[in-house]
Amino acid sequence: MKYGMTGKILRIDLTDLTYAVEEPDEYIYRTYYGGSALACYYLLNECPKGTDPMGPDNLLIFASSPLVGSGIPGSNRYSVAAISPLSGIYGEAEAGGWWSPELKRAGYDAVLIKGKAEKPVYLWIHDGQVEIRNAGALWGKGTGDAQDIIKNDLGVKRVSVAAIGPAGENQVRFACVVNGLKHTNGRGGLGAVMGSKNLKAIAVRGKQSPDFHDKETLKRVIEWYANNFMDHPIERVLHDGGTIGWDVTELDEAGILPTYNFRSGSFEKADDICGETFHKQYFIEAGSCQGCVIRCKRVARSDGPYKVDPAYGGPEYETAAAFGSLCGVSDLEVVCKAHELCNKYTLDSISTGATIAFAMECFENGLLTAKDTDGLELKFGNQKAMVECIHKVANREGIGDLLAEGSRRASETIGGGAKKLAMHVKGQELAMHEPRGKGSLGLAYALSSTGANHTEGPHDYLFQEGALGVSDLPELGILEPVPAIELTPEKVRYFALMQLTWNVFNTLGLCIFTAGPGKLLKMNQVAQAVEAATGWNVTLWEIMKLAERTVTLKRAVSVLHGITRKDDCLPDRFFQPLEGGLLKGMALEQEVFEKSLDLYYDMRGWDRNTGIPTAGKLVELGLGWVNKLLGQQ
């Protein structure tokens, strides 16, 4: 690798407390680039079927990408991947911040971690050097204290730290990884994998950025972006209000704000938890990731009864809805506190809120009683009980120990109809978007290889008549609008294409808020930026093939670990009518949904009956070696 990457992969064995450096051939980089595709390459090769997600043989991967550090807005991200303790299949989560560019400056494109340390440790990676250090004094600490201790221990202020808190240490199945206290690799329980290895944190710092091939072109794109983003309506609203500012009120008005564990699409107190209320009462400043002018991050503070610490940033839309409308809570200070606790303990705010909402519905249906909940009246709207639950989950105390298993496992333990109240796909809880009002979103939830995932592709409203997305991708054959709510064959085609655009960003380390459909930087420009970074002759065709390879690799990992077509489904609730809001009475149709799945498998080159990528498709994508792993010729 001459440009864009360091050319070095760091391997850590925590059992032996040793490390090694690999320098993969350039064809590996050209085939898998980085991020999620690179992670899948290693997982497929090194984590066979039956790998225990919490065992020493699970491979935990932190992977950057060629664009990272180039200065292209949003090119600061990395993937964390492993076999997920929440779903038992492919687990992946992305985060921004400064950690990924700093890893490359420290000399590595990715870190692969196996084994289990006998005692807690943290990694210190700096200017090509690697140290495995004692983390005994850090164990039991939240991310803020842990980061402070590491900085003092190292005597380096500008170190970037990705860490777990008590939830990761206690192997809560939806524990996340947090860098810089406010940037989260949220989904899939990858913080629990860190905890299972006795790995508290990875601290990185370096002085040598990789060389980029065409710095003039990169500079020109960066300047153009800075000069134009405020004229783009979506980038402007992201800059002005972040994600909390663009969703709660709007989704409530449209009848698709997940409310009371997805029973309703409208929350009577939505205005109390919306972006405007947030900005009036708790917002203190906008935050950013490395090199990004959008500055969509929000920072919250409160000196009220719940005292919210701004060091942990502020809630995104997902968090506001998960701890707000989904749990029937209308006190925004409590929502901000819940966010702070999640980042301190390292809990995925989506799965945490969704699992508590599930427990609330169980409680209201008599499936859980105060005897089961340590005396907590776990009813919708009981904000004190919700906050207490977060503490209990992180520390696996009382009812928290059951909920720390995630809603799928908890529902199996509770029994008596609880399974119908657990809103998950493949074990991962749904994010805060209602599939009954967005035709292809249900497909995205059902088909994602990580379980329910709202960032599988842009949402349906972007492609309805007059919307921004319709004119963004004529080169991909996106030429006509499609209605938002319906699920038609044409909508399946749009989803299959759009899924590629967002998935490839997780391989390129790029943010979906700065680039792609409906954003300022178009897919052709992304290809040009990758070419400028790497020096390879990169076209849109290569980017889209890389995207298809990424989606197929992820599927292959999950197939290897046991999923088939029967797992590509949605909770029954979504085939029942919405109970409230503008779309009251709306339900998905099972037959239409199944036919849409058939069509999707055909388009993707996956077998209709099994959902497994066909032998021919794998060979076409340069993944013929995966056929043997999947038992195909």
Partner 1 sequence: MSVTFQPKGLLKSFCREYLNGEEIIELNNKEGQTIEAVCLEIGLPLNMISLFVVNEKPKPKDYLLKNGDRVKCVAIIGGG
Selected binder of partner 1 within 25, 276, 285, 598 (CB under 8 A): 276
Which residue number, 253 or 268, has a Cβ lying nearer to partner 1?
253
User: In this chain, which stretch among 314-322, 523-531, 599-607, 613-621 interacts with partner 1, using CB under 8 A?
Assistant: 314-322
Site membership for partner 1, residue 135 (CB under 8 A): no
Site membership for partner 1, residue 464 (CB under 8 A): yes
Using alpha carbons, select from 284, 293, 188 the residue that is nearest to residue 230: 293
Selected binder of partner 1 within 102, 318, 340, 348 (CB under 8 A): 318
Question: Three-state SS for 389?
Answer: helix
Site membership for partner 1, residue 169 (CB under 8 A): no
The least distance separating partner 1 from the CB of residue 519, rounded to whole angstroms, comes to 10
Looking at the DSSP bridge assignments, the partners of residue 12 are: 19, 113
Give the CA radius of gyration of the chain.
22
User: In this chain, which stretch among 3-11, 129-137, 219-227, 235-243 interacts with partner 1, using CB under 8 A?
Assistant: 235-243
With b for 16 or more beta-carbon neighbours within 10 A and e for fewer, the 471-488 pattern comes to: ebbeebebeebbebbebe
Selected binder of partner 1 within 284, 286, 582, 603 (CB under 8 A): 582
Which residue number, 201 or 321, has a Cβ lying nearer to partner 1?
321
Please check whether residue 436 is in contact with residue 578, taking contact to mean a CB–CB distance below 8 angstroms: yes
Site membership for partner 1, residue 433 (CB under 8 A): yes
With b for 16 or more beta-carbon neighbours within 10 A and e for fewer, the 353-374 pattern comes to: bbbbbbbbbbbbeebbeeebbe
User: In this chain, which stretch among 6-14, 231-239, 324-332, 414-422 interacts with partner 1, using CB under 8 A?
Assistant: 231-239
Selected binder of partner 1 within 113, 149, 512, 569 (CB under 8 A): 512
Selected binder of partner 1 within 11, 454, 554, 555 (CB under 8 A): 454
The least distance separating partner 1 from the CB of residue 203, rounded to whole angstroms, comes to 26
Count of residues engaged in binding partner 1, rule: CB under 8 A = 43
Measure Cα distances from 165 to 148, 169, 172, 294, 633 in Å.
13, 6, 11, 29, 45
Which residue number, 173 or 459, has a Cβ lying nearer to partner 1?
459
The least distance separating partner 1 from the CB of residue 349, rounded to whole angstroms, comes to 12
Which residue number, 106 or 274, has a Cβ lying nearer to partner 1?
274
User: In this chain, which stretch among 114-122, 173-181, 230-238, 536-544 interacts with partner 1, using CB under 8 A?
Assistant: 230-238
H helices of 7-127, in order, are: 26-32, 35-46, 99-105
Please check whether residue 200 is in contact with residue 120, taking contact to mean a CB–CB distance below 8 angstroms: yes
Q: What is the DSSP letter of 126?
A: E
d(Cα 576, Cα 263) in Å, to the nearest integer?
9
d(Cα 521, Cα 629) in Å, to the nearest integer?
38
Which residue number, 100 or 373, has a Cβ lying nearer to partner 1?
100
d(Cα 238, Cα 289) in Å, to the nearest integer?
14
Give phi and psi for 490, each to the nearest 5.
-65, -35
Selected binder of partner 1 within 46, 145, 211, 240 (CB under 8 A): 240
The least distance separating partner 1 from the CB of residue 325, rounded to whole angstroms, comes to 13
Selected binder of partner 1 within 233, 477, 585, 624 (CB under 8 A): 233
Site membership for partner 1, residue 431 (CB under 8 A): yes
Q: Which residue has the tokens 């920072």?
A: 299
Binding mask 280-299 for partner 1 (x = CB under 8 A): ----------------x---
The least distance separating partner 1 from the CB of residue 268, rounded to whole angstroms, comes to 15
Residues sharing a CB contact under 8 Å with residue 240, sequence separation 6 or more, in sequence order: none
CB atoms within 10 A of CB 585: 11
User: In this chain, which stretch among 388-396, 408-416, 457-465, 620-628 interacts with partner 1, using CB under 8 A?
Assistant: 457-465
d(Cα 83, Cα 60) in Å, to the nearest integer?
8
Site membership for partner 1, residue 585 (CB under 8 A): no
Please check whether residue 39 is in contact with residue 61, taking contact to mean a CB–CB distance below 8 angstroms: yes
Which residue number, 460 or 567, has a Cβ lying nearer to partner 1?
460
Q: Where are the beta strands (DSSP E) in 408-481?
A: 424-425, 428-429
d(Cα 1, Cα 350) in Å, to the nearest integer?
38
Selected binder of partner 1 within 513, 600, 601, 606 (CB under 8 A): 513
Site membership for partner 1, residue 250 (CB under 8 A): yes
Selected binder of partner 1 within 31, 209, 249, 614 (CB under 8 A): 249
User: In this chain, which stretch among 38-46, 247-255, 259-267, 378-386 interacts with partner 1, using CB under 8 A?
Assistant: 247-255
Site membership for partner 1, residue 236 (CB under 8 A): yes
Site membership for partner 1, residue 245 (CB under 8 A): yes
Site membership for partner 1, residue 184 (CB under 8 A): no
Pairing between β-strand 9-13 and β-strand 18-22 as defined by DSSP bridges: antiparallel
Using alpha carbons, select from 555, 559, 551, 552 the residue that is nearest to residue 630: 559
d(Cα 483, Cα 466) in Å, to the nearest integer?
11
Which residue number, 120 or 241, has a Cβ lying nearer to partner 1?
241
Site membership for partner 1, residue 376 (CB under 8 A): no
Site membership for partner 1, residue 321 (CB under 8 A): yes
The least distance separating partner 1 from the CB of residue 144, rounded to whole angstroms, comes to 23
User: In this chain, which stretch among 234-242, 395-403, 534-542, 589-597 interacts with partner 1, using CB under 8 A?
Assistant: 234-242
Element (H, E) at 201: strand 199-205
How is residue 577 written in tokens? Answer: 């009518």
Residue 103 C-alpha from the chain's centroid: 20
Give phi and psi for 118, each to the nearest 5.
-65, -40
Pairing between β-strand 90-95 and β-strand 110-114 as defined by DSSP bridges: unpaired
CB atoms within 10 A of CB 126: 19
**How many Cα atoms are found within 13 Å in the side-chain-facing hemisphere of 173?**
24
Residue 619 C-alpha from the chain's centroid: 29
Site membership for partner 1, residue 467 (CB under 8 A): yes
Site membership for partner 1, residue 462 (CB under 8 A): yes
Which positions from 588 through 607 interact with partner 1, judged by CB under 8 A? Answer: none
Which residue number, 2 or 584, has a Cβ lying nearer to partner 1?
584
The least distance separating partner 1 from the CB of residue 517, rounded to whole angstroms, comes to 11
Which residue number, 83 or 256, has a Cβ lying nearer to partner 1?
256
Please report, as ranges, the residues that interact with partner 1 according to CB under 8 A: 233-234, 236-237, 240-241, 243, 245-251, 253-254, 256, 274-276, 296, 316-318, 321, 431-433, 454-455, 458-459, 461-462, 464, 466-468, 484, 512-513, 518, 582
